[in-house]
Each structure stands twice: as structure tokens, then as C-alpha cells.
Chain A
């Protein structure tokens, strides 16, 4: 038959948009090259993304075309990067190579343009500081106007400001210092069983400490 590959790209987009399960998308992607490019690099990559709050102007600039903004279905906005597992709930992280501190106007402008262009968004996760929350005035109303399928909204606001933030950093650092001797002993015992050379290395290491 092969007629499906002769369809126009817009029609193929609509078909792929209707396939909800990501695993079904994967099996469609492993059939031929053209479908693979279309599914992986357009749909699966952009369907659910997570972004830092200060990167919103960057997100707005890379979501330039109308087609790409219409592919985004789940969006997560965070105020700080999580430590630990980079993979969280299948969201793809978007971060610029170099980051420069955005001004408030840029942030507000970026949010406004996002809310006017994300036409097929369904889920929005907000994980922002209570201080940043002031920028979201009118954001949800505008989103609801542009995307008729916007149904899920989860907000968790945290208050991590100034000194408190620094204190938290100190705490995490002290935790590392507490665990360092434990790690050292663990490595030493392991090394004892495996290689003698590691033992000598560890001796040097101990002297350094």
C-alpha cells in the first residue's frame, strides 16, 4: 500500500497526535526512516518538557514555530533544579548552554507569549517559589482561552528565599562531609578484596586526608 507515507505532513501530524501512548509511538517510530524522524524528533521530543522558571525566555525563543508549540502537551515549570534523578516522570529537560539572568519584563513577556501560543497543552506542573508566583497573573486564564483541552493543573509553591536557601545549601554540604568517611571505608574494604594496588592508592589518599 505505502499510501500513508504519501500523505501530506500536516495530516501525518494529526494522525500521530491522536496516538496517545508513548510506547505505541515508539513502535510506529521503528518502522521506517521518515516516520522515525517525524515521531521521535518532533512529537516525542516535544510532547512533555520541563523548564526552569528563569529559562522561560529561552523556551519561548526555541518554540519559535507555530507547529512546534502545538506539539507541547505537558509542561513543567520549576524554580530550582532538582538534585538527584534527572529523569522525572518522562519530562524532557530544556536548558540553555549559557544562562544569563533575565529581567522581569522578559519573564513576563515570555509567559504571556507562552500562554498565547501553547494551543494543545493539557497538563501544567508548576513548582515555583512563592515569590515568583506574582508573574503568573492572568496566565491561567489566557491558557484556558487558547487551549480548550487544558484540564490538569498542579501547583506547588515553596518559599526558599535568601538566607534560608543558603542554609539549605550548607546542610547538603555538611551531609556530604558526614558521609565521606563512610564512603572511604566502603571503598577501602572493596579495594582490599579486589586489588592490592588500590590499597596503595588508598594509602596515598589517606595521607592526603
Chain B
């Protein structure tokens, strides 16, 4: 059994069932009609499922991840101490723009494992940067007034002293 996924541009991706199972939305679409029996009703999906918010390039990237994890369970739960496999870190890369696209798509498609990996990727990119670097990277405009900036410096000093009293 295979399922056709249609991206925002209308490109069609033919994926097998275990790969499509990794994508929450697609799984719900395919199984949703017969949830109580627990098996898919449609044996062959000829219409295809339209994913209106995901572009072709990002969908193909996400399908690579799904293909890799079609047999294994991905990490779903984790904190900052958790080590991801090397393949995952190489997959997510260091390109902020790309990671944000993957993150948004994973949120939209309900893929908790990929969502966590993208969060980890963003945190890694943000590691060890100063505020100005982060602003440049994320396109944030500093929206503090002068007064707030003075207060902020004071508070930052307090926090630094709090964390490293020496």
C-alpha cells in the first residue's frame, strides 16, 4: 500500500505506508475513517493527501527523515542533556532558515520526533552567540526603549553575579 502526498506547489510524492506512518497528519487521514477497527480502510489512495503549508523541498527533506526512521523509534522526549544520534545532527545541519522551515512543517504535520530534533538544532545554532549575533541571525529588531535598556543592563549584571558569584 502506498500513499500520495501533494505539496504546496502540487508536486506528488509516492510514499510507502511505514514512511507515511511517521507523519501524524497523514496517519490520521489514512486511518481516521476506521479508528475503532484499527486498520486502514483505503487499500490504495488514489486521490492523494494535500499538504497545503509544506513546500516541495521541505517535504522531500522531511521524507528523508521519515524514511530513516521507518523501522526505528525516534527520540520523542528529551532535555538538553540528551544526545541525538550523529545521523540526526548531520541531517538537521546548521542552516537556521532551513531548520525553521523544518520546524514549522514538523509542527504542522505532527511529527514530534522531528520537532524535537529541530528545536535541538536551533538551540545548537544559538549556542555561544552574543545578543547582537542572535538578532542578526533571527532578524529580530531590538525593541527596548533606552530606559528599559538601562534596567536590562542592571538586571543582566545581577544575573551574571547570581550565576557566577566570583
Report which of A28, A33, A36, A87 forms a contact with B165, defined as CB distance below 8 A. A87
Structural contact, A21 and B127, CB atoms closer than 8 A: yes
Total number of A-B contacts with CB less than 8 angstroms? 107
Structural contact, B80 and A11, CB atoms closer than 8 A: no
Q: Chain A interface: which of B2-10, B46-54, B61-69, B116-124?
A: B116-124
Structural contact, A27 and B79, CB atoms closer than 8 A: no
B15 interface contact, C-beta 8 A: no
On whether A4 and B127 interact (CB within 8 A), knowing A14-B115, A18-B80, the answer reads no
How near does chain B come to A82, taking the closest CB pair, in angstroms? 14
On whether A1 and B162 interact (CB within 8 A), knowing A18-B79, A19-B123, A31-B131, the answer reads no
On whether A11 and B135 interact (CB within 8 A), knowing A31-B140, A120-B79, the answer reads no
Structural contact, A23 and B163, CB atoms closer than 8 A: yes
Contact residues of A between 101 and 121, Cβ < 8 Å to B: 120
Contact residues of B between 140 and 164, Cβ < 8 Å to A: 140-144, 148, 152, 155-156, 159-164
Interface string of B75-106 (1 = CB under 8 A from A): 00101111000000000000011001001100
Structural contact, A2 and B138, CB atoms closer than 8 A: yes
Report Cα–Cα, A40/B148, bound state, in Å. 14
Structural contact, B159 and A44, CB atoms closer than 8 A: yes
A76 interface contact, C-beta 8 A: no
B134 interface contact, C-beta 8 A: yes
Structural contact, A23 and B107, CB atoms closer than 8 A: no
Structural contact, B160 and A23, CB atoms closer than 8 A: yes
Structural contact, A4 and B81, CB atoms closer than 8 A: no
Contact partners of A148 in chain B: CB under 8 A: 77
Contact residues of A between 77 and 128, Cβ < 8 Å to B: 85, 87, 90, 92, 120, 122
How near does chain B come to A209, taking the closest CB pair, in angstroms? 36
B126 interface contact, C-beta 8 A: yes
How near does chain A come to B103, taking the closest CB pair, in angstroms? 7
Report Cα–Cα, A68/B120, bound state, in Å. 21
Task: Known A-B contacts: A3-B100, A14-B115, A28-B126. Give 9 more (CB < 8 A).
Answer: A2-B140, A4-B140, A18-B123, A24-B126, A30-B131, A31-B138, A32-B142, A35-B140, A149-B81
